[in-house]
């Protein structure tokens, strides 16, 4: 009985601490604004400047609590490295197929191979706990060949679909 009560009290204290950490500053800011606006001894221009400064500080504190997180898949990291260091430029079509496998789609009229380049999961969090926004992006590696069927260039682009062979 005492153990259950202790756990409940500890949980209540933890919730109150979380509330004060995340909601307390907003309460403090709004009460400061109300206090400044209701003082008769401060002229109107000073009131406006103080409110602007309080809102600016609040905005800067809020921005510092926002985290942008990118989680690339292992396959995306591999394909991004291939694209960044241009390691397949100058290879023939057969060498590219040996290194990367069969292409997902082939555009013969444009002499382009398309490969699935994996996914990139992007997330925006507030205070590292509250998810504001999350989305998965799919990427394709475009391999461009010249008229001699050797790799001229590569590019990694966001795609609307998976290019699975």
DSSP 3-state assignment of 92?
strand
68, pLDDT greater than 80: yes
Considering the chain, what is the average pLDDT of its residues? 80
Of the candidates 152, 80, 78, 87, the one whose C-alpha atom is nearest the C-alpha of residue 113 is 152
Q: pLDDT tens across 137-152, in order?
A: 889 888 898 888 889 9
The whole-number pLDDT of residue 61 equals 76
Of the candidates 79, 77, 90, 153, the one whose C-alpha atom is nearest the C-alpha of residue 116 is 79
Q: Where along the chain do its domains lie?
A: 2-64, 68-159
In whole angstroms, what separates CA 92 from the centre of its chain? 36
The whole-angstrom separation of Cα 165 and Cα 151 is: 19
Residue with tokens 């001894």: 41
Q: pLDDT tens across 98-113, in order?
A: 888 888 777 667 788 8
The whole-number pLDDT of residue 86 equals 87
Strand segments, DSSP code E, in the chain are: 66-72, 105-107, 112-126, 130-145, 151-159
pTM over 0.75: no
1, pLDDT greater than 60: no
């Amino acid at each position: 009985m005492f153990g259950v009560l202790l756990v409940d009290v500890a949980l209540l204290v933890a919730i109150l601490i979380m509330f004060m950490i995340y909601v307390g500053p907003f309460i403090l800011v709004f009460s400061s604004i109300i206090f400044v606006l209701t003082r008769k001894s401060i002229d109107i221009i000073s009131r406006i400047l103080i409110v602007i400064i309080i809102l600016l500080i609040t905005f800067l504190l809020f921005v510092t609590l926002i985290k942008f997180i990118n989680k690339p898949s292992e396959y995306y990291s591999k394909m991004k490295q291939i694209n960044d260091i241009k390691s397949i430029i100058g290879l023939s079509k057969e060498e590219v197929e040996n290194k990367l496998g069969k292409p997902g789609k082939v555009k013969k009229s444009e002499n382009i191979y398309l490969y699935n380049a994996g996914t990139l999961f992007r997330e925006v969090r507030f205070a590292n706990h509250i998810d504001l926004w999350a989305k998965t992006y799919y990427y394709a590696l475009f391999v461009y060949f010249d008229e001699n069927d050797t790799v001229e260039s590569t590019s990694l682009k966001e795609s609307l679909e998976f290019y699975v062979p």
